[in-house]
Structure 1
Amino acid sequence: MTSQTRARAAIILAAGQGTRMKSPLPKVLHPVAHRAMLDHAIDAAEGLGCERIVVVVGTHSPEVRAHVVKRLGEAAIAVQDPPLGTGHAVRAAEQALSGFDGEVVVTYGDVPLLKAADIEPVFNADGVTVIGFEAHDPGAYGRLILDGETLTAITEAKEASAEILAITACNSGVMAAPAALLFSLLADVRNDNAKGEYYLTDVVELARKGGHPTRAVFAAEDAVMGVNSQAELAQAEALFQSVQRDFFLAAGVTMAAPDTVHFAWDTQIGGGTVIEPFVVFGPGAVIEGGARIRSFSHVEGARVASGAEVGPYARLRPGADLAEGVKIGNFVEVKNVKMAEGAKANHLAYLGDGSVGAGTNIGAGTIFCNYDGFNKARTQVGAGAFVGSNSSLVAPVVIGDGAIVASGSVITEDVPADALAFGRARQTLKPDAGAAFREKAKAQKAAKSK
């Protein structure tokens, strides 16, 4: 929780059409690290302690509106219709912030890498503060004209002289000001420009003319990166992953090939864990220190305790919960199953909806048959049990502590503790039938070839 002296609110601009994405999915709903860019922006606003968050949406993307309502409620919606520039978009949020007496920060739904810590310095000022950045290639960015920390002007590149174009301090578009001041200044913004739009940047000049302080604070260029195309989305993903890899390496996670490991926005990994190459973490993965995730495994919505081992080529789905010393081997899928200490499923198994007791061994090819086409049911396997290879456990079913299920069995009824269960046809032997079959087959093949 951040310390603050005045109430805070955030206006997140998310009304752009995102045509350069060339995708039916609205731009701000495209994911970075398995989380919509818009949610990253909301996370940052919440991290700042904003008591009011308003997202400005357009009429062209009902999916964006529905996304915001689901997370923040209808009161968080402001509609910009028609779109007439960034200043007009911020004014669209004025009614939603009616009665708010505090500071407002304007951010963007397509800037997924901007964190609360990057935004924090814009607050606790009496005037207008913008976030700037030192650009490696300033290009078409607006330039910040500075006198120390004082911001004297923002000049658009197309209107800049050669001297101003040489400036590398650029405008990120993120701005903060007391609410009353911000909306008062916006009321005086005019659209007498080539595009006929109302620009948020005009607020700086109006503030200076009104005698209000204007200043700039700086963030890293990567942090304020906006996403407008699929290429930029991939770049943002790469930047996120790079930061996370460095974070986990510094925390004591061993990764021999970190560039091949991909994290979700909320991945948790304890120090002392070994992550082998080509591992992917989906949302909700919690890996305790001292675990080992082997190559080509996928972990999502799962907990892996210290000393457990997963993979290679394993998949943990939501609800998988592995205790200490559990071993999940190659081509094993676990979904919504709690496995107690020392349990093993080493090869080619599907364990869905159930539990496995401590020290139990699940043989290769075993399936928890958890779905009958309409409903899910649970399979419970007790402690110290042994399930032979190629067995099908048809849920709902309970295998007692210490019970043994013979290989190749189809189990449809509960097996008591320490019992031995067979669920297969009796083996039949026919002497010399194999040789007779081969001779017959050879003769038939010879006849066909004539």
Structure 2
Amino acid sequence: MQTRAIILAAGKGTRMKSEKYKVLHEVCGTPMIQHVIGNLREAGISDIYVVLGHGSETVSNYLGESIHTTIQEEQLGTAHAVRQWQDTLHDKDGHTMVVCGDTPLISDTTMQAFMHYHLETGSKATILSSRTQMPFGYGRIVRKENGSVKRIVEEKDATDLEREIKEVSSGTFIFDNRTLFEALDKVNNDNAQNEYYLPDVISILRDQRARVEAYVTPDFEETLGINDRVALANAEEVMRKRINTLHMQNGVTLIHPEMTYIDKEVEIGSDTVIYPGAIIRGKTEIGRSAMISSGSEIKDSIIGDGVEIRQSVVTSSKVGRGTKVGPFAQLRPESELGEEVKIGNFVEVKKAKLENEAKVSHLSYIGDASIGARSNIGCGTITVNYDGKNKFRTEIGQDAFIGCNSNLVAPVKIGARSFIAAGSTITDEVPDDSLAIARNRQTTKDGYYKKDN
């Protein structure tokens, strides 16, 4: 039978103290609701329904059309939230998992085991629970003497004895779908918050002598919900450790994992070494046997095999095999470096393509340009690409040599095997195999200082 999922994401998240909608806050570079969706899909659930609250247009836009969304007009509790899908789902066969949008750490492996347990036991409802020595704030799992689930009691409604219970609900459930929506009609708001609690469905089903189970996940950290910035930081730490462990198991060397920041979608080849303080973000791919030093930040880029990046920033760029970048260089978006290229200290590259073995060793700006293979760009060279209104390109052929402190005023073409004399300002095309000198002849005024004084 089909299993679908309802994600509860209508909470305002006031404790986040943010203009950003709660479930769009990122954990290791990915919005927490996207973690939940991704884990559901990895667990085999593709039919996903989301309950949002007011001001959620940004979430709807982010999720796109592949996810069903609806609005909970009033925040009247979790049972009321699930009922927003009653007209659509009440008569469907199969099972429905209900999960909170602020629980990004529940892994696909746990979700699969949870579903398997539910189906294996044949229960009408199964609770994902865990055990903690610090249960404050969580709904407690109240069991009968035979170990079966009797009910879930919320913190504010619990007795002193019930508050001592260490098994807590994660807020994630699986129900027989028809049973869920039939029971929702019987939920009332006779509680301290005057809300319609989804856990009350458990008590209703027990009164009907329906089978209710709880699957205890051994890792309490997986069930952590994120309600404020402290919890967000804790979740980031847990997930970062999970991500880094997986990379190390796949053959990546992290010199100091606790000080290495890698987003979830990053892919890294074996034998690559990453030093403490490196930040690797977004959809970045790093090849085999690369080296990323401390102080480097890479985002949404493709880094080839054997590349070395030292104390540099790389954004939305491609770096070919064996290329060396840095120290203290910046590759801005749409930069593309070929194989065995050298980008040295204090070089900035923007929207430029450098062919194999090209060299820009230090103190240069290469923007809106194409640099031919094996060309050597001298210290202090600037491609003058902007006239205050428009951007223009500089084209340099292969095996060219650009002398130090040259200004290449775009649009301009420098031919293959051409030389530009140091200190030149080039405004006209330079043909292949040519030498261009564009500077005033030196004038020396002997005794100038004595004359003025």
TM-score (norm 2): 0.87
CA gap of 1:329–1:437, structure 2 versus 1, over 3 A, is: farther
Q: CA deviation at 1:85?
A: 0.6
User: Which residue identity lines up with residue 429 of structure 1 in the other structure?
Assistant: Q
Establish whether residue 289 from structure 1 lines up as the match of residue 283 from structure 2: no
| Inter-partner Cα distance in structure 2 for 1:83 and 1:369 | 52
Structure 1 residue 348 displacement after superposition: 1.2
Superposed CA deviations along residues 388-415 of structure 1, whole A, max 9, x for unmatched, are: 1211234423211212222222223222
SS at match of 1:223: helix
3-state SS of paired residue (1:222): helix
Alpha-carbon distance, 1:144 to partner = 1.4
Task: Tell me if the contact between 2:274 and 2:291 (Cα under 8 Å) persists in the aligned partners.
Answer: yes
- Secondary structure of the equivalent of 1:414? strand
1:409 paired with 2:406, answer yes
Residue matched to 1:351: 349
| 3-state SS in 1 of match to 2:150 | strand
Residue 12 (str. 1) matches residue 7 (str. 2): yes
Q: Aligned match of 1:29 in 24, 27, 47?
A: 24
Counterpart for residue 154 of structure 1? 152
Alignment of structure 1 residues 86-101 onto 2, 5 Å? 86-97=78-89, 100-101=92-93
Q: Distance in 1 between matches of 2:106 and 2:450?
A: 71
What letter matches 1:414 in structure 2? K
Asked whether the equivalents of residues 78 and 96 of structure 1 are also in contact (C-alpha less than 8 Å), the reply is no
1:77–1:96 CA contact under 8 A, matched in 2: no
* Distance (whole Å) between structure 1 residues aligned to residue 185 and residue 379 of structure 2: 74
In the superposition, relative to structure 1, how do residues 438 and 400 fare at CA in structure 2: closer, same or farther (>3 Å)?
farther
Residue number in structure 2 paired with 1:117: 109
Question: Do the aligned partners of 2:157 and 2:191 also contact (CA within 8 Å) in 1?
Answer: no
Alpha-carbon distance in 2 for matches of 1:36, 1:149: 37
Contact between 1:54 and 1:96, CA under 8 Å: does it hold in 2? Answer: no
Aligned to 1:431: 444
Contact 1:52 1:97 in 2 (8 A): no
Whether 1:42 aligns to 2:42 is no
CA distance in 2, matches of 1:278, 1:432: 54
In structure 1, the residue matched to 2:127 is 130
Aligned mates of 1:51, 1:246 — CA distance in 2: 28
Specify the alignment match of 2:380 in structure 1.
Answer: 390
Structure 2 equivalent of residue 204 of structure 1 = 202
In structure 2, list runs of 5 or more residues that go unmatched: 386-391, 426-437
1:188 aligns with 2:192: no
Aligned twin of 2:52: 57
Distance 2:362 2:286 in 1: 25
- Structure 2 match to 1:167: 165
Q: How does 1:328-347 map to 2 (within 5 A)?
A: 328-334=325-331, 335-347=333-345
1:329: Cα distance to partner? 0.8
Question: What code does the residue aligned with 2:329 have?
Answer: V
Conserved? CA contact 1:380–1:398, under 8 Å: yes
Q: In the TM superposition, what is the alpha-carbon distance from 1:439 to its structure 2 partner?
A: 8.7
Q: Deviations over 1:336-373 (max 9, x none)?
A: 22212111111211112232111111131222233xxx
Q: Distance in 2 between matches of 1:122 and 1:243?
A: 20
Contact kept, 8 Å, 2:395 with 2:413, in 1: the verdict is yes
Tell me how large the CA RMSD over aligned residues is: 2.2
SS of 2:261's equivalent? coil
Corresponding residue pairs, total:
422
Conservation of the 8 A alpha-carbon contact between 1:285 and 1:301: yes
SS at 2:191 equivalent = coil
Shift in Å, 1:169? 1.1
1:99–1:204 Cα change, 3 Å: closer
SS for the counterpart of 2:326 is: strand
Structure 1: tracts of 5 or more residues without a match = 1-5, 371-378, 444-450
Displacement of 1:242:
2.0
Contact 1:13 1:107 in 2 (8 A): yes
User: Percent sequence identity over matched residues?
Assistant: 26
Amino acid at match of 1:431: T
Q: Deviations over 1:194-239 (max 9, x none)?
A: 3221110011111122232211112221111011111111111122
Residue deviations 1:58-106 (CA, integer Å, cap 9, x gap): 12443333333x3635xx1111111111100011122343664321111
Q: What's the counterpart of residue 79 of structure 1?
A: 71
Letter in 2 for 1:350: E
C-alpha distance in 1 between matches for 2:238 and 2:451:
66
The structure-2 alpha-carbon separation of the partners of 1:7 and 1:233, relative to structure 1 and needing over 3 Å to count, comes to same
Aligned-residue offset at 1:243: 1.9
Q: Does the CA-based 8 Å contact 2:123-2:213 persist in structure 1?
A: no
8 A Cα contact 1:249 1:255, kept in partner: yes
**SS of 1:239 mapped into structure 2:** helix
* CA-to-aligned-CA distance 1:309-328 (integer Å, 9 cap, x gap): 0012x01101x111221000
* TM superposition shift of 1:19: 1.0
- For residues 25 and 153 of structure 2, what CA distance do their matches in structure 1 show? 31
SS where residue 363 of structure 1 aligns? strand
1:325 is the counterpart of 2:325: no
Cα distance per residue 1:148-190 (max 9 Å; x no partner): 7732322334444454333211111100112211111111111
Work out the CA distance in 1 between the residues paired with 2:397 and 2:221.
Answer: 56
Given the superposition, is the C-alpha separation of residues 346 and 144 from structure 1 closer, same or farther in structure 2, using an over 3 Å criterion?
Answer: same
Structure 1 runs (4+) deviating above 4 angstroms are 437-440
Q: 1:267 to 1:136 in 2, by over 3 A?
A: farther
Contact conserved, 1:14 with 1:28, CA < 8 A, in 2? yes
Distance change in 2, residues 1:71/1:349 (3 Å): farther
